[in-house]
Amino acid sequence: MVLAAGLGTRMRPLTDTTAKPLLPLLGRSLLDHALDRLAEAGVEQAVVNAHWKAEKVAAALVARTAPPRTRLQLEPELLETGGGIRRALPLLGEEPFAVINGDAFWREGPVPALHRLAEAFDPARMDSLLLLMPTARIEGAVGRGDFFLDGWGRLRRPKPGEVAPFLFAGVQLMAPALVAPEPDGVFSLNRPFDRALGAGRLHGIVHDGEWYHLSTPPDLDRAERRLREGKGINWL
């Protein structure tokens, strides 16, 4: 699933007239980049949700001829990240599935990130496996970070006064059980994440390639410039 329903408020004014996942980077939309990654991983069908400027997201999917096949989930009411995925479960099936934020853009390391997630995912121990980036390797504001990671791959959130060393990169492999217990309606993924954290079932792996923080127009400009100049964020 690609999450493309958000309002993109921090990317305004670029998102005044279009959805954030339709913004271009290297001549292709962020949505196309995300779908390309899924196709490269062997995914044959993907659900894309849409709310803000949904008609433009729908037109972009109709115009796309490359795999994967896409199914559009229109959301007249913005359901947030968790609610959108919960509503899509009948389309996604009973097996674990990949979820990509519509503004996630990365370059692969030695092994593609989605392959690494699939190889590491253990449904007996995990409800979701998140791709993480070290905050020290990110250009742009990252706040207090998102997670700490222990030696077994389990995550925890920062306590008051702590600064977490990892940021969620907007790419994950998820079991339907993460959101299935939630009622239909509006909710953030943070709610099922917190439940999984309490049970020790939220895990992460660290991305070994490049990842670009795309929250604001300057972030997008910086990523475009670095990528076109061949000066990616190579910290490895």
| Interval 61-109: pLDDT, tens | 999 999 999 999 999 999 999 999 999 999 999 999 999 999 999 999 9
How far is the C-alpha of 118 from the C-alpha of 129, rounded, in Å? 9
Residues of the domain holding 131: 2-228
Which of the 8 DSSP states describes residue 11?
G
In a domain, 234, yes or no: no
How many structural domains are present in the chain?
1
Cβ-based neighbour number of residue 163 at 10 Å: 11
**Helix (H, G, I), strand (E, B), or coil: what is residue 148?**
strand
Between the alpha carbon of residue 128 and those of residues 49, 55, 194, the distances in Å are 20, 31, 11
pLDDT tens, 123-171? 999 999 999 999 988 876 777 899 999 999 999 999 999 999 999 999 9
pLDDT attached to residue 235: 36
Report yes or no on 76 lying in a domain.
Answer: yes
Asked if the structure places residue 236 within a domain, the reply is no
Q: Is the pTM of this model over 0.75?
A: yes
CATH number at residue 114: 3.90.550.10
pLDDT, residue 61, reads 98
Is residue 204 in a domain? Answer: yes
User: Any idea which of 102-111, 114-123, 137-146, 226-235 has the lowest mean pLDDT?
Assistant: 226-235
In a domain, 233, yes or no: no
| 235 domain residue, yes or no | no
